[in-house]
Amino acid sequence: MPTKTFIDRSKAKFVSPWRLVSFAMFVMISSAVFGQQSDSPQGVRGPAMDESSPMLNAWDGPYGGVPPWDKVEVTRFEAAFEVALVRATADVQEIANQEARPTIENTILALDSAGAALERLDTLFSVQTGNLNLGPIPTIERSVSPKLSEFADSIVQNPKLFSRIEAIYKDPTLQSETAVRRRLVEDRYQSFIRQGANLSDGDKAKLTEINSRLATLFTDFNQNVLEDEKRYVTWIDDPSDLAGLPESTIAAMASAAKERQESAGKWAVTNTRSSIDPFLTYSDNRLLREQVWRNFYTRCDHGDKFDNKPLVTEILSLRMRRAKLLGYPTHAAWRMQRTMAASPENAMALMMRVWPKAVARVREEVADMQRIADMEAVEKRRPKIKIEPWDYRYYAEKVRKEKYDLDFNEVEPYLQLDKLVDGMIWVASELFDLRFVPSSDFPVFHPDVRTWKVINPKQEVVGLFYLDPYAREGKRSGAWMTEYRPQHRQPKVSIPIVSNNSNFVKSADGQPVLISWDDATTLFHEFGHALHGLLSNVDYKAQAGTRVARDFVEFPSQVFEHWLSTEPVLKKFAVHYQTGQSLPEDLVKRILKAKQFNQGFATVEYLSSAIMDMRLHTETADRIDPAEYEQRLLSELGMPSELPMRHRLPHFLHLFSSDSYSAGYYSYLWSDALTADAAEAFEEAPGRYYDRQLADRLLTTVLSVGDTIDPADSYRRFRGRDVDTNALLRKRGFPVD
């Protein structure tokens, strides 16, 4: 997962995922986000080249240079990409055409250093597309993506370059290299093979055509989702329609209306998960809940120009053709070559082990909710209802209150965003001796962004951390980690620069931002990804930080979620926004007691999407109707009618805005099996979650090693054995086989 990694929270209660690619990723060619193509981009004619653009320059400033957000000029991106692609192409050709005997230094590592201007520019541009997707950015992305695809393929399909890599791979002296360097070479060689380096010229041309088209379709899919999220807003102008909503939610809705320049006295439920979830959980107005739910779950499914179903059909068809061209039976078989699961069958086996248990739990949860709904109908003398998807969260909260005497409305006043940010940083200090010092030494891309220097016990700055917490127009929904620069020591020391990006809704002026328990969990999850990048300690950037197998990358982030509910964090940082009092101990106990509550919903919501992903990408049909397929498979699975998949196909960004999570959405469950087992290790440790010996082992065996070793070996070194997958069932409160 080389430079400019985007990682999203998308497991049982996780938000959508999406990753873009920079030059280093093009070289690794492990995620194929933009696709791959042959030859150089020469001959593609766009705007005049812009040699003078400051966005092409090496980053200056402190700490080895920082992203020059203050020098970004949106209108110059396209012309700057023309220059960067020409320079990167020249770098690759120089490596491929050299006369010197192929070595790791002059070929493998040289590729890591090549195309620096393109890598820097792509980092700046990707932040624009994800966080500030306004004005000309969508048009520029549609123009640039196919060119990046062409460039990616030009690397893989360069016969001279591949012959050098192959020579290094087959050289007997490779066995005398360190295990890390052998793995670096082996991964590079195998990635080129997987991407078609050995294809005939005719098949390479076909691959080029497929990948170029996919690059365009991915961009169109993403832009359509952004557009539908902007277009569908639920407006409320009657205060009685706010019944049941917490004050913080109402304030956030008023703020959202104000941002859209609506007059006072209106409230807006925007079409993003961070806005709709609290509304569906607390609103007493069932008709409005249904409207909000339908707006969100029918995104890009309206039969208009933003309808993504035709794009899904074409993407699936192209992926199937590409897999066969590359010698694989299905897209899933191709994508899973470098994963812990190794095959679609192994991934499906774990999912189908959990699925019936989760569905059985949903039926229990629905029965509890239906009983309360029936009682309300009698008490309030109104017609009975059947629990529908827009009712699930609402009545689940009533069941939680009944069973555990826990109302998360009581908890939210204690969950201040700023205080919880302090809490997650405090945990990093306690576990890993890191200090996060707020800094204004470097520019940011938006006034909302906060920055910190990360300092080790030797008082050295070892990383930079950016936090962009708030929703805004032009920002994609969800939460994710981005890496602006990876850590590495060769050919020179480079400290990591990472960011967390979220979509919390701002409250009224001067008021603290209060977030839900689920959102607080997301906050800690994404910070776990950030720590994975910041604590990296490797020689080569191709192996740094989060550049690990897709089904291992979520392990560190999912583990870090557990620190939110630890007693020190709740006592120190979960403080009431008005009184300053800590979360009462009795309330803490009730929260911990209810940890397994609603796990049927959480698991089925996620797992239905994961199974859908794997089944779609093991199909061999040339054309698939997404609407028919979705309905048929859910029926076959026995999907409970009371809840939807977390991501329906027309807006499933993980799968169709890139290749990166395709046939990989299962990875959250796979990683959570590791997470559950690791959490039990902390539960059993003398110091529990603050046991320094165990935290040190997590650091030295997982967080710092990146992809220098096989992830299965990494986990064995941490746990002392293979994973016990029964821990996953125990964590969710499901019966163990």
Active site amino acids: 526
Question: For the purposes of burial, counting CB atoms within 10 Å of the CB of 700, is it exposed (0-12), middle (13-18) or buried (19 or more)?
Answer: middle
C-alpha to C-alpha distance for 478 and 653, rounded to whole angstroms = 10
Q: Using an 8 Å Cβ cutoff, are 308 and 225 in contact?
A: yes
Q: Using an 8 Å Cβ cutoff, are 46 and 84 in contact?
A: no
CA-closest candidate to residue 409, choices 563, 204, 245, 532: 245
Residue 487 tokens, joined: 């850590």
Q: Using an 8 Å Cβ cutoff, are 358 and 607 in contact?
A: yes
Residue 648 tokens, joined: 């329906």
C-alpha to C-alpha distance for 137 and 133, rounded to whole angstroms = 6
The phi, psi pair for 297, rounded to 5°, reads -85, -5
Q: Using an 8 Å Cβ cutoff, are 196 and 325 in contact?
A: yes
Question: For the purposes of burial, counting CB atoms within 10 Å of the CB of 48, is it exposed (0-12), middle (13-18) or buried (19 or more)?
Answer: exposed
C-alpha to C-alpha distance for 195 and 32, rounded to whole angstroms = 8
Q: What is the CB neighbour count within 10 angstroms for residue 16?
A: 24
CA-closest candidate to residue 69, choices 125, 129, 23, 2: 125
For tokens 């009462």, the residue is: 584
Inter-axis angle of helices 626-637 and 309-325, nearest 10: 80
C-alpha to C-alpha distance for 66 and 615, rounded to whole angstroms = 43
Question: For the purposes of burial, counting CB atoms within 10 Å of the CB of 370, is it exposed (0-12), middle (13-18) or buried (19 or more)?
Answer: middle
C-alpha to C-alpha distance for 137 and 474, rounded to whole angstroms = 10
Q: What is the CB neighbour count within 10 angstroms for residue 17?
A: 28
Q: Which residues pair with 467 in a beta bridge?
A: 450, 500
Three-class HEC string of 602-622: HHHHHHHHHHHHHHHCCCCCC
C-alpha to C-alpha distance for 262 and 258, rounded to whole angstroms = 5
Over the Cα atoms of the chain, what is R_g? 25
First-to-last C-alpha distance (Å) of the chain: 35
Helices H / strands E in the chain, number of each? 28, 8
CA-closest candidate to residue 399, choices 601, 249, 562, 576: 601
Q: Which residues pair with 575 in a beta bridge?
A: 582
C-alpha to C-alpha distance for 82 and 45, rounded to whole angstroms = 9
Q: Using an 8 Å Cβ cutoff, are 468 and 499 in contact?
A: yes
What are the CA-CA distances from residue 250 to residues 232, 241, 696 (Å)? 19, 11, 43
In 321-439 the beta strands, taken as DSSP E runs, fall at: 435-438
C-alpha to C-alpha distance for 374 and 371, rounded to whole angstroms = 5
